[in-house]
Amino acid sequence: MEKVIQGKAYVLGKNIDTDQIIPAEHLVYSLSNPEEVKLYGKYALSGVPPEQGGLPEGNIPFIEEGSFGSEFTIIIAGPNFGCGSSREHAPFALKVAGIKAIIAESYARIFYRNSVDGGFLIPYETSEHLNQLINTGDELKIDVTLNTIENLTRKVTYTLNPLGDVFSIVEAGGIFAYARQENLMAQS
């Protein structure tokens, strides 16, 4: 995993739930069949109401029609991201769509743990209302070592809450891979 993540922002509001991240009707696809896995990316964030997608303008699609991935690599959101049911498919779908990191004011605990435990993406927290300071399409650069996000479009840098061991777990590919790597469990 990269120590510097650069890409376009996709901005969302507060209380984005797992049904908005990957609607229940799309939980039928195989997690191991490569052709079906692509569909998780295609339908990522498809449950977000159009007026709430791609703030502040709204109505900006996360996935273009006919595509399986997004041009956006970083999600900026308000508080309580990932609330709702405890589906592991939610961070998985975002990863398949091309998301590498989410920066939110807070997370539903189960979404946060699923993101880290599965090694899907980096869930950064911030005390600032970045979803009101960054626009969809802004070019961003996250420095994981410094815990900063730089808005290259607006030439402003913000400090993020430190990740602690979270980056090492995500970088290893999830909690079990990390435990094996650190000799915390038997090798298989």
Tokens, residue 61: 């699609």
Average pLDDT, stretch 31-43? 96
pLDDT digits (tens, 9 = 90+) for 46-76: 999 988 999 998 899 999 999 999 999 999 9
Tell me the domain boundaries of the chain: 4-181
pLDDT digits (tens, 9 = 90+) for 87-124: 899 999 999 999 999 999 999 999 999 999 999 999 99
Q: Pick 185 or 133 by higher pLDDT.
A: 133
pLDDT at 185: 80
Report yes or no: 139 and 162 within 8 Å, Cβ to Cβ. Answer: no
CATH (residue range 4-181): 3.20.19.10
Give CA torsion, residues 41, 66, 19, 28, to 10 deg.
-70
Report yes or no: 107 and 78 within 8 Å, Cβ to Cβ. Answer: no
Q: Pick 64 or 86 by higher pLDDT.
A: 64
Please say if the pLDDT value at position 188 is more than 90: no
pLDDT at 187: 64
Average pLDDT, stretch 20-36? 95
pLDDT at 86: 79
How would you classify the pairing of strands 72-77 and 101-104? parallel
Average pLDDT, stretch 172-183? 94
Instruction: pLDDT band for 23, please (50, 70, 90 cuts).
Output: very high
